[in-house]
Structure 1
């Protein structure tokens, strides 16, 4: 994932792809936390971006589970 994945990009993905993105983001978060603990992390803002990406993915998954569809206004 780049600096932050947009919700509109995530909405285009299927359930399996969302789960794959979630696994990738969680693994990246684990690695970033490990780097931060050992003092090797250079970009601390990336931690926040990955956490927000994970939250976006969980939100989309829950919306689909409940059958909620959002309408984006122009």
Structure 2
């Protein structure tokens, strides 16, 4: 998901999405360890989405707007 799209969500929605993505990352890591993961790039994409959400939340906390 792009950062511009994430800006439209409220803080509560972003926090919920963050929790969901963290759970998904955990599941992907388990699949990786069990050699069941088909697409290894999924881990990278989920990590980037987590970073984007955290960046937006921190920016709002500091009062930074674009």
TM-score interval (norm. to shorter): over 0.9
TM (norm. structure 2) is 0.98
Cα drift, residue 46 of structure 1: 0.4
TM (norm. structure 1) is 0.88
Query: 1:27 & 1:8 partners in 2: Cα distance?
Result: 23
Runs of at least 5 residues in structure 1 that lack an aligned partner in the other structure: none
Cα drift, residue 69 of structure 1: 0.5
* Alignment equivalent of 1:17, drawn from 10, 13, 19: 13
- Tell me which residue corresponds to 2:38: 42
Report the number of matched residues: 66
Cα drift, residue 29 of structure 1: 0.1
Runs of 4+ in 1 over 3 A off after TM superposition: none
Runs of at least 5 residues in structure 2 that lack an aligned partner in the other structure: none
Give the alignment's Cα RMSD to 1 decimal: 0.4
Query: 1:51 & 1:21 partners in 2: Cα distance?
Result: 13
